[in-house]
């Protein structure tokens, strides 16, 4: 049987649900919650967990048992530093494409960070080359050798909904489904899902296209 793809976002949502309020979670619980049956995907989950422990997002409290560090906010400082070094030392007249090429990073990473740098006054537009906008560092950038970091934000648009779905699975797997407290938790999680997807359904009914939607 072919397994599902275990993404970091899936694992993070499940961890946050299980560990909400100071709880802990085991690898077996995560495998059950994510519906993993394929050994290759179970191995991938273990690698994801090890990576998250290594980066401080997760704490291993015992063998196969973890606690999520809610104060940790993942970021990739090396990427920002690479772009910042390029910005400060490149000759005026560079583009996002050339920055991506020289830093060996994706165009998306470069364009998002540079858009923020422009908003903050670290870079400015210096002309055009055909349809391509060219940039240069400002005096503010010259006087700022340390890498400036943009504010952290939740990039996952369905983070709350994924956490709610994982919460339902966690409650049903790890607690008594007949308990009033469990029933209340399931209902609250269901309300989170309904409030999001009822809105999307209404928009579809009214002929509005929702984010991330595609029609075949």
For the segment 55-69, the average pLDDT, to the nearest whole number, is 92
How much of the chain exceeds pLDDT 90, in percent? 42
pLDDT (tens digit, 9 = 90+) per residue, 175-187? 888 999 889 989 9
Say whether 77-142 and 8-72+156-200 share the same fold. yes
Name the band, by pLDDT with cuts 50, 70 and 90, for residue 125.
Answer: very high
**CA 29, CA 64: separation in Å to the nearest integer?**
10
pLDDT at 71 over 80: no
Q: What are phi and psi of 104, to 5 degrees?
A: 60, 35
CATH, domain 8-72+156-200, list 3.40.50, 1.10.10, 1.20.58, 3.30.2010: 1.10.10
Name the band, by pLDDT with cuts 50, 70 and 90, for residue 216.
Answer: very low
What pLDDT is attached to residue 73? 62
- The whole-model pTM stands at 0.46
- Sequence-distant (≥ 6) Cβ neighbours of residue 97 within 8 angstroms: 107, 132
Q: Where are the domains of the chain?
A: 8-72+156-200, 77-142
For the segment 33-51, the average pLDDT, to the nearest whole number, is 89
Please check whether residue 68 is in contact with residue 57, taking contact to mean a CB–CB distance below 8 angstroms. yes
**CA 120, CA 140: separation in Å to the nearest integer?**
9
CATH, domain 77-142, list 1.20.1260.10, 3.90.226.10, 3.10.20.600, 1.10.10.10: 1.10.10.10
Tell me the residue ranges of DSSP E strands in the chain: 25-26, 58-62, 65-68, 123-129, 132-137
pLDDT (tens digit, 9 = 90+) per residue, 158-173? 767 777 887 788 788 7
């Amino acid at each position: 049987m072919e397994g599902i793809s275990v993404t970091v976002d899936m694992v993070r949502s499940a961890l946050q649900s299980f560990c909400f309020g100071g709880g802990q979670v085991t690898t077996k619980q995560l495998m059950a919650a994510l519906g993993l049956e394929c050994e290759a995907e179970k191995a991938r989950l273990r690698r994801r967990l090890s990576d998250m422990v290594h980066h401080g997002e997760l704490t291993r409290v015992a063998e196969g048992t973890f606690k999520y560090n809610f104060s940790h906010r993942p970021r990739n400082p090396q990427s920002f530093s690479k772009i910042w070094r390029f910005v400060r030392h490149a000759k005026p007249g560079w583009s996002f494409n050339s920055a991506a090429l020289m830093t060996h990073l994706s165009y998306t990473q470069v364009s998002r960070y540079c858009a923020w740098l422009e908003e903050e006054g670290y870079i400015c537009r210096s002309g055009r080359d055909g349809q391509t906008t060219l940039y240069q560092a400002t005096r503010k950038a010259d006087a700022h050798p340390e890498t400036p970091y943009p504010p952290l934000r939740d990039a996952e648009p369905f983070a709350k909904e994924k956490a709610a779905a994982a919460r339902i699975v966690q409650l049903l797997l790890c607690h008594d489904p007949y308990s009033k407290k469990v029933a209340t938790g399931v209902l609250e999680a269901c309300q989170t899902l309904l409030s999001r997807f009822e809105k999307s359904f209404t928009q579809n009914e009214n002929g509005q296209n929702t984010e991330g939607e595609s029609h075949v």
